[in-house]
Structure 1
Amino acid sequence: MKAFANAGDIQYVKDWFEKLTDAGLRPNEVAYGIVIEVHARSGSLSDAVQWLEKMRSASIKPGVTAYNLILKGHSKIRNGTGTSECFKKMLQDSVKPDNMTYGTLAESFAMRSQVQPAIDLIGQMKSASVRPSVITYTSVLKACDRARPKRTESAESMFRDAVKSRCALDAKILSVLDSVVGSSRRSKLCKELGVDEEKLASAVLRKYIDRRAATETRQFRERSR
C-alpha cells in the first residue's frame, strides 16, 4: 500500500483501505496516514482533511505525521491560511509539533516573504524545547532575502543565533546568507563567528563526489550483468 501511495495511486490506496474494513479489520493510524499521504501529495488537500476527520471519527487520534503531511501540502501551494489553520488544529488536538512541523511552517513563511513570523517561529521552537535545525534557520534567512527591502540585519541576527545554538551549518545557509548580505559581509561574519567556510564547501564537494562515484558504480554493475 505504501508503494502505491508513493506512486500517487489514490484509487488503489482507497480500494485497499476498503478491503481492510470489508474484511472486518479496523484500520490503524498507519493505514489512515497512508491514505492522507497519497491525497496530500497529489494536491487533494480537501480530501486529505476529510480523511483526517474520518480518522478522528474512528476514535483514532491523528499523530504529528498526519498533520505534517497536510501542512506540507498547504505549504507547497503557498496556502498560508490553510497552513496556519492546520497548525492551530494540531495544537488544539494536543499534538506536539516536531522539527518537520516547524520546518514546514518556516518554509511557508519564507515563500510569502514573512520575516517576523519566521523569526517568531524560532522562539516558539525553543520554548517548546525543539531545537531548530539548519533547514529551519535557512528558511528564515530565505524570508529575509525575499523581503523588499531585504532584511539584512534580521538575517545577520538569525545567522548569529544559528551559530550560537551550535546548529549543524551547511553550504546552503551560507549561500542564502550571501544573497542577503553580500559575499564580503558573509565572509566577515563567518570569520568573526569562527565558521569555516572552506570546510563546509569541501563537505558539499565530498558529498557530490561520493554520489557521483556511487552512480557510476551502479551503472557499471548494470552494464556488467
Structure 2
Amino acid sequence: MSALKRATTNPHQNPTETNPLTSLLQSFTAYRSEPTPESYHFLLKTLAQSSQFHHIPPVLDHLEKNEKFETPEFVFSGLLESYANANDLKGALELFFRIPKFRCVPSVYLLNSLLKLLCRSREGLELVPGLLLRSRDLNIRLEGSTFDVLIAALCRLKRIGYAIELMNYMVNDGFDVNTKICSLLLSSLCKQRGVDSAQVMSFVEGMRKFGFCPGLVDYRNVIRFLVKAKMGRDALGVLSQMKSDGIKPDTICYTLVLDGIIEMGDFSKADELFDELLGFGLIPDVCTYNVYINGLCKQNKIEAGIEMVASMEELGCKPNLAIYSLLVEGFCRTGDVSKAVDLVREMESKKIGLNGETCRIMIDGLVKEDKIAEACALLEEILDKGFPAGSLSFDVLICQLCQKGQFSKALELVEKMVDKHVSPGSRVWEALLLTSDSKFSFVEPIFTSLVDTNKHQPS
C-alpha cells in the first residue's frame, strides 16, 4: 500500500508507472502479494478526487474479471458519490447495477446513499422511479430509511401532499414512524402555501395515533403558523396543549403567542401571558419586549412602554430601533410630540440610528401639531446627516409651507432635497407652481436640474 501511494500520488518520480492500474499491480507484485479491496478503494478514490475518471473503467474491469475476493460495499460508496458530484448520474446508476458482477451483494444502505445523491437535483429525481423498480431485481428490500430519504426529498421540493401520501403508505406497510421525518413533514406543511389550520392540526393528530409525540420545535412551528394565519386564539390553545404534554414552552413560543393575542386586541390575556412567562423563569428577549410594548402602544399606554424600556435596560437587554419607533409613533399619535422629540434625542445619544420610517413618523407628528419650524429643522437635520428617508413626509411638510405662504423656505428645502438625491413628489411641484405665480423662474431651474440628474441615475 505504501508503494502504491507513492506511485499514485507522485507519478512524476517514476515515469514508467504512468498507468494507475499498472501501479497497483506492480506495487503488490514486488512484494509477492495480491491487491486487496482496500488498495482498489484507495486507487479509485484517488482517481475520482483528481478527476481522472478516464482511468477508472480499466481498474473496474480488472477488479471484475481478474480478482476473486468478495468486494466490500465501501469500495463503491465513495465512487458513486464522485460520479454524482461530477454530474454523471447515469454513470453512477450503471455502476450500481453492475455491483453484483464484483461479487458484492448491494444492500439497502448503498441504495439509500444513491437515492440521496439522485434527489439532490431534478435531473436525478427523474431517475429515481427506475432505480426503485430495478432494485427489486437485485433483491434489495426497501426499508423505512428508504422512505425517509424519499420523503425528505419531496419536502425539499415542496411536494408536501406527495410526501404525506408516501408516509401513509409507509405506515400501512408496517414500518415504524420516524420522529425526525414526522417533524420534517410538519415543518414543511406549516411553510406550504394554501394550507389551513385544519390541515395542520389534522396532520398532528393523525401522527399522534402512530406514536408521534410533538417536541418543542414542532409546537413552535405550529404556533408560528397559526399566528401568521392570524389565529392567535388557536395558537394559545396549542400553547396550553404543549404544557399539558409536559413540554415547557420557551421564550420564542410565548413571544409568538403574545404577538397573536395582541393582534386580536386581547390585551388582558397578553398581560397574563407575559406574567406567566416570567413566572416560568423565562427571560424575555428583545423580540418579546418589542411585541409587548407594541401592545402597550396600541392601548396608548406609552408611558408604560417607557417604563418597560427602563426595565429592559436594567436586565441588560438593549432596546432596539423597532421599539423606539413604536414609542415615537405612540407619542405622535397621542399628540405628545415634544416627548417624541425627546425620545429621538435619546436614541441619538444611545447611538441608535434613525430610519426612514421613524423620520416619517416624526415629521408627520410635527406637521399635525402645526410645529412647522421644528419639522423643517428635523428635515434639514435628516438631509444633512444622510439618514435614509423617502420623500412622502417631506412632501407633506413642503405643501404645508406653501399653504402658509412660506414659499422661500419651501423652495430652500426642495433645493436641499434635490442636492441629496431625494426626489420631491408631484404634489410638491403642484404646490410650488400654484404658490409661486410670477416666481416660476425660481422653480424651473430646480425642476430641470432634478430631471437631468435622474437621466443619469441607473434604471
TM-score range, shorter chain: 0.7 to 0.9
Change in Cα spacing, 1:195 to 1:154, as seen in structure 2 (3 Å) is farther
- The residue number in structure 1 matching 2:52 is none
In 2: Cα distance, 1:83 partner to 1:42 partner: 18
Deviation of 1:146 after TM superposition, in Å, equals 1.7
CA shift in 2, pair 1:189/1:126, >3 Å: farther
**Aligned equivalent of 2:347:** 162
CA distance in 1, matches of 2:359, 2:299: 21
Report if the CA contact (8 A) 1:40-1:70 is conserved: yes
Alignment of 1:14-53 (within 5 A): 14-53=201-240
Partner residue, 1:177:
362
For each residue in 1:61-116, what CA deviation from the matched residue of structure 2 results, as whole angstroms up to 9, or x when unmatched? 10112111111112222322122222111111122111111111222222222221
Partner secondary structure for residue 308 of structure 2: helix
Q: Is residue 321 of structure 2 the alignment partner of residue 134 of structure 1?
A: yes
1:79 aligned residue: 266
Letter in 2 for 1:39: L
| Alignment correspondent of 1:122 | 309
2:280 — aligned with what? 93
For the residue of structure 2 that corresponds to 1:39, the secondary structure is helix
Q: Which deviates more from structure 2 when the two are superposed, residues 33-42 or residues 152-161?
A: 33-42
C-alpha distance in 2 between matches for 1:95 and 1:69: 14
Q: Which amino acid aligns with 1:171?
A: G
Provide the residue aligned with 1:107 in structure 2: 294
Distance in 2 (alpha carbons) for counterparts of 1:107 and 1:196: 31
Report the structure number with the largest CA radius of gyration.
Answer: 2
What percentage of aligned pairs have identical amino acids? 20
Partner secondary structure for residue 201 of structure 1: coil
Number of matched pairs: 201
| CA-CA distance at 1:24 after TM superposition | 2.0
Structure 2 counterpart of 1:55: 242
The answer to whether the Cα contact below 8 Å between 2:360 and 2:389 also exists between their aligned partners in 1 is no
User: Are 2:199 and 1:9 equivalent residues in the alignment?
Assistant: no
- Structure 2 residue runs of 5 or longer lacking an equivalent are 1-185, 391-419, 422-459
Pair 1:201-2:389 in alignment: yes
Q: 8 Å contact 1:174–1:186 — kept in the other structure?
A: no
Residues 86 and 186 (structure 1 numbering): CA distance in 2 closer, same or farther, change over 3 Å? farther
Query: Is the 8 Å Cα contact of residues 17 and 31 (structure 1) preserved in structure 2?
Result: no
What TM-score do the two structures reach when normalised by structure 2? 0.40
Distance in 2, Cα, partners of 1:129 & 1:68:
18
Q: Which amino acid aligns with 1:119?
A: I
**Alignment-mate amino acid for residue 352 of structure 2:** C
TM-score normalised to the size of structure 1? 0.77
Distance 1:9 1:170 in 2: 36
In 1, Cα distance between equivalents of 2:320 and 2:250? 21
Distance 2:376 2:282 in 1: 41
Summarize deviations over 1:106-134 as a string: whole Å, max 9, x none: 22222222221121121122112111111
Give 1:219's aligned residue. Answer: none
Counterpart of 1:49 in structure 2: which amino acid?
A: L
Is this contact kept in 2: 1:36–1:66, CA < 8 A? yes
Structure 1 unaligned residues grouped into runs of 5+: 207-225
The answer on whether the counterparts of 2:190 and 2:222 sit within 8 Å (CA) in structure 1 is: yes
**Paired residues of 1:32 and 1:55 also in contact (CA < 8 A):** yes
- RMSD after superposition: 2.7
Residue 70 (structure 1) aligned with residue 257 (structure 2): yes
1: distance between equivalents of 2:293 and 2:376?
25
SS at structure 1 position matched to 2:388: helix
Q: State the distance in 1 between where 2:278 and 2:340 align.
A: 28
**3-state DSSP class of the match of 2:214?**
coil
| Maintained 8 Å contact 2:233/2:261 | no
Q: CA deviation at 1:135?
A: 0.9
> Match of 1:200, SS?
coil
Equivalent position SS for 1:95: coil
Report the secondary structure of 1:14's partner residue. helix
Q: Sort the Cα spacing of 1:105 and 1:197 in 2 relative to 1 into closer, same or farther, 3 A.
A: farther
CA-CA distance at 1:41 after TM superposition: 3.1
Write the deviation string for residues 164-220 of structure 1: whole angstroms up to 9, x where unpaired: 11113211111111122345324545878x995534238xx99xxxxxxxxxxxxxx
